[in-house]
Amino acid sequence: MPGELTAREGQVNICRFFLVILALVVASGCATTPRFRVGVDSISSDAAPRKKTYVLLPSNKDTSAEDLQFKEFAAYVHRALGSQGFTVAPSIEQADITIFLAYGIGDPQRHQYTYAVPLWGQTGVSSSTTYGTLSTYRGFGTYSGTTTYTPTYAITGYSMGAGEYTTYFRFLLLDAYDLETFKKENKLVQVWKTVVTSTGSSGDLRRVVPALVAASSQYLGKNTGHKMEVVIEEGSPAVAEIKGEGAGSAKPLK
39 plus 99 within the same structural domain: yes
Closest to 100 in 3D by CA, of 138, 63, 46: 63
Predicted confidence (pLDDT) per residue in 97-155, tens digit: 999 999 999 999 999 988 888 887 877 776 767 666 666 666 666 666 677 777 887 88
50 plus 155 within the same structural domain: no
Residue 78's domain is classified under what CATH number? Answer: 3.30.160.670
More confident residue, 176 or 183: 176
**Domain limits at 132?**
2-28+113-161
- In our burial notation (b when 16+ CB lie closer than 10 A, e otherwise), range 78-98 reads bbbbebeebeebeeeeebbbb
* 105 bridge partner residues: 170
pLDDT at 116: 84
Predicted confidence (pLDDT) per residue in 14-23, tens digit: 445 444 444 4
Please report, for residues 13, 42, 88, the alpha-carbon distance to residue 222 in angstroms, rounded to integers and kept in the order given: 60, 6, 18
44 plus 101 within the same structural domain: yes
12 plus 99 within the same structural domain: no
66 plus 151 within the same structural domain: no
100 plus 179 within the same structural domain: yes
44 plus 147 within the same structural domain: no
In a domain, 59, yes or no: yes
Phi, psi of 127 (to 5 degrees): -165, 165
157 plus 171 within the same structural domain: no
39 plus 150 within the same structural domain: no
Predicted confidence (pLDDT) per residue in 49-88, tens digit: 999 999 999 999 999 999 999 999 999 999 999 999 999 9
Q: What global pTM score does this model have?
A: 0.72
- Res. 6 pLDDT band, cuts 50 70 90: very low
Report the helix count and the strand count for the chain, using DSSP H and E: 5, 8
How many domains does the structure of the chain reveal? 2
